[in-house]
Amino acid sequence: MSMSEIGPYSNYRLTVRLELANKPGIFAQVAALLAEEQANLGAVDLVSATKTRMVRDITFDVQNEEHGEKVLARLNALPDVTVLSASDRIFLLHLGGKIRVESKVPISTRNVLSMVYTPGVGRVSQAIAKDKSKVYTFTSKSNSVAVVSDGSAVLGLGNLGPEAALPVMEGKVMLFKELAGIDAWPICVSTQDPDDIVRIVQGIAPGFGGINLEDISAPRCFEIEQKLKQTLDIPVMHDDQHGTAVVLLAALMNALRVTGKQLDQVRIVVNGLGAAGTACCRILLAAGATHVLGCDKEGIILSGEAEQLRACRTDLRACLTRDNPKGTLRDALKNADVFIGLSVGNVVTGDDLDLMASDRIVFALANPDPEVPPEIGSAHSTIFATGRSDYPNQINNALAFPGIFRGALDAQASEINEAMKLAAAQAIAQVIPEQTLSEDYIIPSVFDKEVVPRVARAVAAAARASGVARRRAKVDDPSLPE
């Protein structure tokens, strides 16, 4: 891996404190060593200096942990150079965790204490006991989401367990707060039994306004989400499935506008029918797609007439023919207009893409390595998107879940249904004005301040229109459509 592949936002950036002899040429040796190792030199700060010694902090990028250890060993072996300490910015950022709880009301006097806690709080508890709907008015339930994981599918790293999942869930909680103003809480459970997870979530549900399931492996995630949706009266969403599907549909809507094609006319191939892949097929069919082929490692295992597929889209597993594939991925790509990869890296070549129709759209979303290398994919398609932040058109589910839950909480929705997800996709797509759409700009940035409010308004309106909202819109309600 070259340093150009690491990019400006390397996950392997070290800050090293060096003690050097204070004489000419010593730091030049350090710089030369880093250049020889292709360790990209960044900031250089002077900490202290005497007539004989100098202490400097230097920051540089390495390729991976092993490479970093090698560079440190070589630095320490230089004459007149001593490595005093080395810190990894990723681990420094995580010291003590990334989140905390803060009170909205400072407890500064005995009088305040008596109101926020006993005896004053007893009156609020009695009021809620008489009318449970008041829990939304007088507690944090109205703005809180539980982010639940068993650690069975942490990012793309596999079954790492609940403790290893915790820093990821903390990161998700940060996104809820920073992007949508939602107080979310990481809940990592020490079981991977679906029934146990369902019972745990059912048990904690009274304290939350919504449940975000995260990093739970397929096919267990389908069963867990389905049972929770059937038994809870608050929104439940497995983000790995539906967040990805919503953003993908939004990107595809705009890609089709750029290429002048229609969703009900194009031939779509989805490769990888795990949690995200099946959810993407379902939302595409719900949005009006009529030609969808689904592939997995066995080959083409999802095909048929559009009406047949739509009829079983609530559980596409019933339509999968794993024991009787209808062809290969290469067969599926012939004359296809759209390729959507939610599988593994480097399973498609430029020659494969050339089998597709003209003005082809390629979404290669496997991380960190897309289904086709970006340089090849972009050269063999009109519109190319990945899940990576270092290329244009990043399909990032952080565009969806903050606004979806914001809208669901604002409407006090009992669920997140198909209509709400379709409305979210449409809202994300419409953030980009028609006149600014291009091959390299089909999806907004996660930092675009328009995304969450637009999605929240659309989702809340869809919740009310579909009859799952318990809170009516007020004139000044931020969830009202524009």
Q: Cα(50)–Cα(72) distance, rounded to whole angstroms?
A: 24
Q: What is the structure's pLDDT at 10?
A: 56
- DSSP string over 34-73: HHHTT-EEEEEEEEEE-SSEEEEEEEEE-SSHHHHHHHHH
Query: Is 117 known to be catalytic?
Result: yes
Question: Could you tell me which residues come within 8 angstroms of residue 300 by beta carbon, excluding any fewer than 6 positions away?
Answer: 293, 294, 325, 326, 327, 328, 329, 331, 332
Hey, what domains does the chain have and what are their CATH numbers? Answer: 8-94 (3.30.70.260), 136-234 (3.40.50.10380), 245-482 (3.40.50.720)
Q: Cα(373)–Cα(353) distance, rounded to whole angstroms?
A: 12
- Residue whose C-alpha is closest to residue 45's, from 18, 76, 7: 18
Q: What is the structure's pLDDT at 17?
A: 93
Query: Is 172 known to be catalytic?
Result: yes
Q: What is the structure's pLDDT at 172?
A: 96
Q: What is the structure's pLDDT at 474?
A: 64
Q: What is the structure's pLDDT at 89?
A: 80
Q: What is the structure's pLDDT at 5?
A: 39
Q: Give the strand pairing for 53-61 and 13-21.
A: antiparallel
Spot the catalytic one: 172, 227, 261, 421.
172
Ordered mean pLDDT values, 10 residues apiece, the chain (482 residues): 41 90 93 93 90 93 90 94 89 87 93 95 97 95 97 90 96 96 97 98 98 94 96 96 96 98 96 92 93 93 81 76 89 97 94 97 92 96 92 94 98 97 98 95 95 97 97 60 42
Predicted model pTM: 0.86
Q: What is the structure's pLDDT at 53?
A: 93
Spot the catalytic one: 23, 98, 117, 334.
117
